[in-house]
């Protein structure tokens, strides 16, 4: 059995760690490989710079409350920089709703002897969850 101090520490860690549904993928394409970039990354959503060379493809996605541009864009830029890119080109932002099944615990009262007892049970629930996906390219302007 865990001591009270240890349980409190585990609970604090779980609360501070939090859960985040943001997932990011960066795949290098082509022969050019560059070292990860530490400097600024320019973001383009409509026009591609003429002198840019493609380094790879980037995709970031999030679900539920994390599905917003404010969370996805920094992750997208970080993945572009990890491929060595100084330019991020956003090709598409897609949103959809997925049906997700989960189990919910509920309490209920039932008669037992001359009083009421409390029981718990798992009930399957289905909910609609927003999924936001940002796709694009990591590019490098000029010489690598």
User: Domain count of the chain?
Assistant: 1
Range of the domain at 51: 21-94+127-141
The answer to whether position 68 is within a domain reads: yes
Q: How confident is the model over 11-57, as pLDDT tens digits?
A: 545 444 456 789 999 999 978 788 888 889 999 997 777 888 899 99
As beta bridge partners, residue 104 has 123
Q: Hey, how many other C-beta atoms are within 10 angstroms of the C-beta on 86?
A: 21
Under the banding of pLDDT at 50, 70 and 90, the label for residue 97 is very high
More confident residue, 105 or 7: 105
Residue with tokens 């890119």: 85
Q: What mean pLDDT, rounded, does the chain reach?
A: 85
CATH of the domain at 60: 3.30.110
The answer to whether position 37 is within a domain reads: yes
In this prediction, residue 83 carries a pLDDT of 94
In this prediction, residue 144 carries a pLDDT of 54
The answer to whether position 114 is within a domain reads: no
Question: CA–CA separation, 12 vs 94, rounded Å?
Answer: 35
The answer to whether position 117 is within a domain reads: no
The answer to whether position 121 is within a domain reads: no
Q: What token pair was written down for 12?
A: 């604090």
In this prediction, residue 126 carries a pLDDT of 92
Residue with tokens 């009083």: 115
- Indicate if the pLDDT at residue 117 is higher than 60: yes
The answer to whether position 137 is within a domain reads: yes
Under the banding of pLDDT at 50, 70 and 90, the label for residue 114 is confident
Q: What are phi and psi of 26, to 5 degrees?
A: -130, 125
pTM: 0.72
As beta bridge partners, residue 94 has 133
Q: What token pair was written down for 125?
A: 């629930």
Q: How confident is the model over 127-141, as pLDDT tens digits?
A: 999 999 999 999 998
Burial of 133 (0-12, 13-18, 19+ CB in 10 A): middle
């Amino acid at each position: 059995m865990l001591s009270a101090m240890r349980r409190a520490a585990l609970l604090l860690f779980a609360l501070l760690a939090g859960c985040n549904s943001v997932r990011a993928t960066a795949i290098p394409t082509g022969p050019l490989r560059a070292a990860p970039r530490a400097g600024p990354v320019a973001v383009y959503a409509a026009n591609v710079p003429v002198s840019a060379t493609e380094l790879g493809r980037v995709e970031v996605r999030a679900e539920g409350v994390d599905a917003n541009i404010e969370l996805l864009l920094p992750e997208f830029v970080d993945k572009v920089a990890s491929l060595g890119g100084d330019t991020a080109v956003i090709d598409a932002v897609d949103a959809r709703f997925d049906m997700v099944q989960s189990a919910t615990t509920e309490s209920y009262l039932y008669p037992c002897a001359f009083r009421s007892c409390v029981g718990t049970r798992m009930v399957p629930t289905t909910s609609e969850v927003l999924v936001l996906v940002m796709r694009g390219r990591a590019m490098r302007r000029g010489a690598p």
